Structure 1
């Protein structure tokens, strides 16, 4: 089971058999694009992003569900990589827990925790 608490405080439970992928992605550099009405809009990832964690999973619709987390702290990135590696090799009964903050708690943007339970 994958358990994710997002920054808005919502709890997402994803059965391991519905998990499609967990991807660690390199950041996209900042830039600008022009939208349909000719306005320039910023593109790329937030400043300081060193890694992105993308979780894709099956839903009850024809579309995949996805969650994306941004990380700016090297120590957190190493801890996440280690935890994901351990979880991937663990018994299917083990849970992966991702805590991306609470809505009423001031949380630095680099804060996210991931653990096996």
Structure 2
């Protein structure tokens, strides 16, 4: 019985110490968009930005719990600006919005 309790405590401790619990999906999507910008594949930039928006919508409740209203609403606004910049093939604004999105995600997921 003691071994079982010790095992459960160790398991809970190890699972609880995992520092990445959601932000990685956003970072992966940002990297995908950056690679599409490098290739100047603007249609795919817009598609990937739309996927990022869907990811935001799916995880909005987590973002609301982790961040304040300004952070997650600012993230949504930046994603929409990214989509618009991608449609306009504006590389400078796409890169600027990606940087802002990355920073907002870091702010939300930092504890």
- For Structure 1 versus Structure 2, the TM-score category normalised by the shorter chain is 0.3 to 0.5
Q: Which one has a larger percent helix, Structure 1 or Structure 2?
A: 2
Structure number, greater radius of gyration: 2
Report the TM-score when normalising by structure 2. 0.34
Q: Which one has a larger percent strand, Structure 1 or Structure 2?
A: 1
Report the TM-score when normalising by structure 1. 0.32
